[in-house]
Amino acid sequence: MLNTAHQTPTADYYNRPRPSISSLVKPGPNIVLDLGCGAGAMGRNLVSEGKAVQIIGVELFAAAAQAASESYATVHTGDIEEMDLPYSRFFDYIICGDILEHLKDPYKIVRIARTWLKDDGVFICSLPNVRYWKVLYRLAFHGSWDYADAGVLDKTHLRFFTRKSCYQMFHEAGFQINSSRMLISGRRYQFLNTLTLRVFEDLFGSQLVIAASKRSHD
């Protein structure tokens, strides 16, 4: 679902290199599928770091897709839920940065994406964390669930996840979680997270980044 807050292909929303995601890709001649590739900043960064030799993208916003096509091998333009991508055990990595929460049925897309991955492939995903303390505070003490142009309560989000529900979605699709990390903004909250031995990490983090692989027995 297109976020109307970002109408130009040069907007920051479409040009973020996302080091929290790209750092999870190992160096090598990887073939990468970038779901929601924006203007291609992620892919260009992976190639420059020697982490990819071929990048294929999917992007809803046509202007951003056009920009990405200048450096990506192929960019499929349109709604991923309406596509039938012609790939089977083809990708070393699938990157899905802040896309699943915009879909009507993200569970289905995760299941399908598993078939696109090589047997030793990795699915890297970032999602907003609805358990974030600011969301809970406003709901509990003010009765507010106010949508915004961006953030955890982006007005175009159709689905909401916690770490636990994200894990469940990937488990049901035949994945195992290799790693997960909550992104915590601000030194104050990073310090509090360390001080409390990360017990409340899921409250301090507004974003969850995970890496998952196919379960070996599936």
- The Cα 82–Cα 196 span in angstroms is 44
pLDDT at 12 over 70: no
Residues 120, 13: Cα–Cα separation, whole Å: 31
- For position 193, what pLDDT does the model report? 85
What's the rounded mean pLDDT across residues 190-201?
Answer: 90
Q: Where are the domains of the chain?
A: 12-214
pLDDT tens readout for residues 56-102: 999 999 999 999 999 999 999 999 999 999 999 999 999 999 999 99
Question: Percent helix, strand and coil across the chain, each rounded to 5?
Answer: 35, 25, 40
The two tokens of residue 190 are 């990073």
Q: Is 174 left (phi over 0), alpha (psi -120 to 50) or beta?
A: left
pLDDT at 216: 78
Domain 12-214: which CATH class?
Answer: alpha beta
Residue 96 CA: distances (Å) to CA of 57, 80, 103, 109, 210: 10, 11, 12, 11, 10
This prediction's pTM: 0.90
